[in-house]
Amino acid sequence: MTEMDLSALWVTLRLAAMTVVVLMIVGTPLAWWLAHTRSRFRPIVEALVALPIVLPPTVLGFYILVALGPYGPLGRLTNITLAFTFTGLVIASVFYSMPFVIQPLQGAFEAAGKAPLEAAWSLRASKCDAFLTVISPIALRGYLSAVVLGFAHTMGEFGVVLMVGGSIPGQTRVLSTTIFEHVEVMEYAQAHAISAFLLTFSFLVLLGVYVANRRFPIHVS
Amino acid sequence: MSRLVARFDVRYPSFHLSVDLDLPASGITVLFGPSGSGKTTLLRCLAGLERASDGFMQFGNDVWQDEAQGVCLPLYTRPIGYVFQEPRLFPHYNVRSNLLYGYKRIPSEERHISIEQVVNILGIEHLLERRIHKLSGGEQQRVAIGRALLTSPKLLLLDEPLTSLDIQRKQEILPFIHRLHEELHIPVIYVSHAISEILQLADRVVLLKQGKLVGAGALNEVLTSLEFRGNFGSLRVGAVLDANVASHEPQYGLTQLEFKGQFLFVPLQSVAIGQPVRVHILSSDVSLVVGRTNSPTSVLNILEATIIEIREKDQSSVDVLLDIGAPLVASITRKSLANLGLKSDQRVFAHIKAVALNEELTE
């Protein structure tokens, strides 16, 4: 790999890590709410969360670009333009990878149910305590899937990144856009190296998730 | 004597719970009723897991819920031990960590019940290091009871903890519940729809039907009340008596029990003289004799009784409520009633053909 490729790898890893951290913080309460609410707004929120799965990434990228640009709501209010910055890329990735984090978490929370929570309350655990010491360990597989899928999906994104980030070396150029640029200038060998890396990486990640889901024993003590 | 006072009025789409309770905060109170009668909902209201919008609940001097004042303490701040229908043990902890989960969360000066005590009463010492999925259903439920006890609760709520178990396992756990109540003196509210559990455990019964309170009172009073008897299904209990062992007659295979100056023979028991034994008598096993006849009888158990009330049961039979120092009901035919000319305040002799002990009773 060239130095440029390595810098793209570094940006990609940072982007994926940041995105997962933000999604864990935002996604846990949202997934919990979706798992247990009886609100009539639930299907609407579920549909919104799932939208990036079916939407062309360019559509999502386009609207985020407009929203983050100098004439978007944020730009007008604060005079800050996040389009074509790393922060802008993180915001876009959070939306783009959201379903891959929310859905495993929501599924895990639904499977855990309210029963262990009530048991923990009856044993003097406050709501926060009960969530951390009982629900989280029971939902650990959901968390594992969420982290891995969120990370891997962010690493593989292309359309959104290109729309919102451009492909500025060292800032917003990630592996997937680097492949594209290598191909454009006919550097097939470099494109192949990165592609093979992403292919292997993605396969191993998914393999890990499925193996773990099958037989990962969750014991604390 | 401190009391438990509770008023709840909760409407669900298909069900309306409306209950006004005032019970002594002691002994074992069984909430009894058919499924769908609101027993579990009432228990969840008592725990604060369901919130009645205009509910009120007071335990002793502590008000746990008073919606008029906007007060409803969450469950984790109430000194309640709750055992659910399913054990609900935490799968990521072993038995010991499950037991200690609540224990670690109460201040040390409030820990009145020790781990050794609980492990002893429930007989779970050999299970402490086991993983939850290696336990049988009965073992899991014992751990769940132990876990609740280790929070040193002031009130123990048990929601049909034996439902998911077979008869053998039930018989394995029932004595434990009895023991923990006798040794730890925690008032227990126990939800059940099984008459056998009531007969073995209850000091007091609260009858529920379609979300309403039908009746409440001491076990024997409720079971023998001619008004409530119909609520206990096909098993027609004539009396539940807490008697004491008077003597043993091993040559005949009999034990004599003493109850308020009267005596009853039961099959030989391995219980020490003077110890309490709870027995029950089916109303169909009681026949009435007017005046002590001179002709000898093979019936051993003959009690002096006074007729209190006579009520028609169905076309052919009547229930006769007797006083033998405690209430006793005899089910006799209408024809016998007419032949004997029985009426209130009359002195009769009750011939009792069979006396059952707790362990023998199954449904």
For A135, nearest residue in chain B (alpha carbons): B90
Q: Which residue, among B50, B51, B92, B97, would best test binding to A if mutated, counting the most A CBs under 10 Å from its CB?
A: B92
| Spatial contact of B112 and B152, defined as CB atoms under 8 Å apart | yes
Query: CB distance B76–A138 less than 8 Å?
Result: no
Q: So what's the pLDDT on residue B294? A: 64
Question: Are both B151 and B283 inside the same structural domain?
Answer: no
Of A118, A129, A134, which is closest to B90 when you measure between CB atoms? A134
Q: For residue A96, what pLDDT is reported?
A: 93
> What per-residue confidence (pLDDT) applies to B225?
84
Percent of chain B scored above 90 by pLDDT? Answer: 56
Residues B228 and B250 in one domain: no
Q: Mind listing the pLDDT tens digit for each residue in B55-68?
A: 999 999 999 999 99
Pick from B75, B89, B90: which is nearest to A121 by CB? B75
- Closest-CA residue of A relative to B87 is A119
- Is residue B234 pLDDT above 70, yes or no? no
Higher-pLDDT residue of B151, B185 = B151
B142 near B173, Cβ under 8 Å? yes
B225 and B255 both lie in a single domain: no
What is the secondary structure of B13-34 as a DSSP string?
Answer: TTEEEEEEEEEESSSEEEEE--
CATH 3.90.79.10 fits A3-215, yes or no: no
Q: Which residue range(s) make up the domain with B100? A: 3-232
pLDDT digits (tens, 9 = 90+) for A105-132: 999 999 999 999 999 999 999 999 999 9
The pLDDT assigned to A72 comes to 82
User: Is residue B142 a part of any domain in this protein?
Assistant: yes
Same domain, B163 and B68: yes
Q: How many other β-carbons are positioned within 10 Å of the β-carbon of residue B228? A: 18
Average pLDDT in the B31-44 region?
Answer: 92
User: Mean pLDDT, to the nearest integer, of A37-55?
Assistant: 94
Residues B198, B243: one domain?
no
Q: Which of B200, B232, B264 finishes a domain?
A: B232
Q: What is the pLDDT of residue A108?
A: 94
- The more confidently predicted of residues A167 and B97 is B97
Residues of B with CB under 8 A from a CB of A: 47, 49, 74-77, 80-82, 84, 86, 88-94, 96-97, 101-102, 105-106, 131, 147-148, 151
Query: Please, what is the average pLDDT of chain B?
Result: 89
Which of the four pLDDT bands, split at 50, 70 and 90, describes residue B359?
Answer: low
> What pLDDT is attached to residue A6?
87
* Nearest CA among A148, A218, A147 for reference residue B133: A218
Closest chain B residue by Cα to residue A124: B76
Q: Using one digit for the tens of pLDDT, what is the confidence trace for B88-142?
A: 999 999 999 999 999 999 999 999 889 998 898 888 999 999 999 999 888 999 9
Per-residue pLDDT band for B363 (boundaries 50, 70, 90) equals very low
**Band of the pLDDT at B221, cuts 50, 70, 90?**
confident
Do residue B274 and residue B166 come from a single domain? no
Total CB pairs under 8 A between chain A and B: 74
Q: Is B148 close to A122, i.e. CB distance below 8 A? A: yes
pLDDT recorded at residue A206: 84
User: What pLDDT band is residue B362 in, cutting at 50, 70 and 90?
Assistant: very low
Nearest CA in chain A to B152: A123
Same domain, B97 and B173: yes
Co-location of B273 and B183 in the same domain: no
If DSSP states are collapsed to H, E and C, what string results for chain A?
Answer: CCHHHHHHHHHHHHHHHHHHHHHHHHHHHHHHHHHHCCCCCHHHHHHHHHHHHHCCHHHHHHHHHHHHCCCCHHHHHHCCCCCCCHHHHHHHHHHHHHHHHHHHHHHHHHHHCCHHHHHHHHCCCCHHHHHHHHHHHHCHHHHHHHHHHHHHHHHCCCHHHHHHHCCCCCCCCCHHHHHHHHHHCCCHHHHHHHHHHHHHHHHHHHHHHHHHHHHCCCCCC
Chain B residue numbers touching A217 (CB-CB < 8 A) = none
A contact test, residue of B76, B85, B96, B134 with most A CBs within 10 A? B76
Burial, A215: exposed, middle or buried (Cβ in 10 Å; 0-12, 13-18, 19+)?
exposed
Domain shared by B39 and B149, yes or no: yes
Cβ contacts (< 8 Å) between A120 and chain B: which residues?
A: 76, 90, 101
CA-CA distance, B308 to B319, in Å (whole number)?
Answer: 11
Please tell me the pTM assigned to this model.
0.84
- The answer to whether residues B59 and B155 touch, using CB atoms and an 8 Å cutoff, is yes
Domain boundary among B206, B232, B258: B232
Answer whether residue B361 shows pLDDT above 60.
no
B244 and B227, same structural domain?
no
- Residue B55 resides in a domain: yes
Q: What confidence tier does B207 reach under pLDDT thresholds 50, 70, 90? A: very high
B137 CB burial (10 A radius; 0-12, 13-18, 19+): middle
- Say yes or no: B295 and B339 in one domain: yes
| B354 within a domain of the structure (yes/no) | yes
CATH code of the domain in which B29 resides: 3.40.50.300
Could you state, in order of their start, the residue ranges of all structural domains in chain A? 3-215
Where is average pLDDT lowest: B169-173, B249-253, B301-305?
B169-173
Q: Which chain B residues are Cβ-neighbours of A112 within 8 angstroms?
A: none
Q: Please check whether residues B225 and B303 belong to one and the same domain.
A: no
In a domain, B363, yes or no: no
* A53 vs A72: which has the higher pLDDT: A53
